[in-house]
Amino acid sequence: MATIKKVADESGFSIATVSRVLNSDPNLSVTEETRTKIYEAALKVGYQKKVLKPLIKNVAFLYWMSEKEELEDVYFREMRLELANQAKEHNIEIKMYTIDEGIEKIPSSINGFIAVGAFTVEELAYLHRITENGVFLDSSPDTSHYDSVRPDLFEITEKAIDFFVSKGHHDIGFIGGTFHDRNNGTEKMDVREKQFRSYMMEKGLLNERFIFVKRGFTFNTGVELMDEAISTLGDQLPTAFLIAADPIAIGCLQVINEKEISIPNRVSIISINDLNMTKYLSPPLTTFHIDMKELVKNALQLLKEQILENRTVRKKLFIEAELVIRKSTNE
């Protein structure tokens, strides 16, 4: 079993200094280089490796979301707050930089970053120049250079379709948003729609008339698209819809209720995210619960591996989600 003496021998510092550093003595004044050497020595000899929490400074949180986008989709607000809380638990000092400030505001001295949002090719190139340590949360725009942690939207989409089919549905629709490419200003197909089309085609169930998308993942997106679906299809409305995100689904439910269409007897709904409010809707929404704590915890852990252990092999991690069945579908 590794002891403080072994860490002292490995690092070249006294037992007293090593002990105070590893116990985060606030009255101890040593250089950052000394702390780093002691932490590296502790990790090397296996000293309390599972509980050792070295202080990691100068980590950037790149929050590439506008205030409007966060207001429209509280999923990202929850992610931002969870990251701030867990960073403290992991003994990581982070500073947030926003899209409004611009990529050039991020100093070249950072030890690494956690990033949320959509980045341009030029912004990614800037990050390449200043650090090799980074994790993208909820996206993977640069898998050859950086780690990523994402909910498994491929599996989620397939599970939703399988659930509908198991309940006897064959006319299944999709309502969602598009991905805005900041490189050229165009709208691109979101991964949920791509997987829906692919898996439905594989099952011989794809009907293009049942797919409705537009830019945005908001309440208004749901209102506009569900109203369009009902107006366009009338009595041929699908018996089930997979909806790309809870804010869209809430807008869809409002329209369906206003049109006095029975849920789930005439139309069943499954959404994604499991926001807190979804259990209080009328009817309560069946949705996939994405574990935000797990997403953030794994992103921070991957960054720590890069910084503390000099890991250079890139990792792409998908987190599964649980289907929470409520009254917008038949059980």
So where are the chain's domains? Answer: 4-45, 57-151+292-321, 153-290
Please tell me the predicted confidence (pLDDT) of residue 49.
52
214 vs 105: CA distance, rounded Å: 33
Q: The dihedral of CA 188, 151, 139, 94: what is its sign?
A: positive
Please tell me the predicted confidence (pLDDT) of residue 90.
84
Q: Are strands 322-324 and 286-289 parallel, antiparallel or unpaired?
A: antiparallel
In this prediction, the residues of the chain whose per-residue pLDDT falls under 70 are 1, 26, 48-54
Picking from 193, 149, 129, the residue whose alpha carbon sits closest to that of residue 305 is 149
Cis peptide bond prior to 107, omega within 30° of 0: no
3-state helix, strand, coil in the chain (%, to 5): 45, 20, 35
| Helix 74-89 × helix 292-309 angle, to 10° | 50
Picking from 319, 267, 261, the residue whose alpha carbon sits closest to that of residue 288 is 319
Residues 291, 321 contacting (CB under 8 angstroms): yes
Q: What CATH number matches the domain at 57-151+292-321, 3.30.479.10, 3.40.50.2300, 3.30.1180.20, 3.40.50.261?
A: 3.40.50.2300
Please tell me the predicted confidence (pLDDT) of residue 40.
81
Q: Quick one: tokens of 61? A: 């949180």
189 vs 213: CA distance, rounded Å: 9
How is 160-183 classified by DSSP, letter by letter? Answer: HHHHHHHTT---EEEEEEEEEETT
Q: Quick one: tokens of 281? A: 């809707």
Please tell me the predicted confidence (pLDDT) of residue 134.
98
pLDDT tens profile 39-76: 788 877 877 654 556 678 899 999 999 888 888 888 99
Q: List 289's β-bridge partners, or say none.
A: 273, 322
Q: Quick one: tokens of 93? A: 């000092």
277 vs 273: CA distance, rounded Å: 11
33 vs 13: CA distance, rounded Å: 12
Please tell me the predicted confidence (pLDDT) of residue 52.
58
Q: What is the CATH topology of the domain spanning 153-290? A: Rossmann fold (3.40.50)
Residues in contact with 124: Cβ distance below 8 Å, sequence separation at least 6, in sequence order:
141, 142, 145
Coil, strand or helix: which one is 266?
Answer: coil
Q: Do domains 57-151+292-321 and 153-290 have the same CATH topology?
A: yes
Q: Quick one: tokens of 200? A: 């439905």
Which segments of 40-98 are extended strands (E)?
Answer: 56-64, 92-98
Coil, strand or helix: which one is 39?
Answer: helix
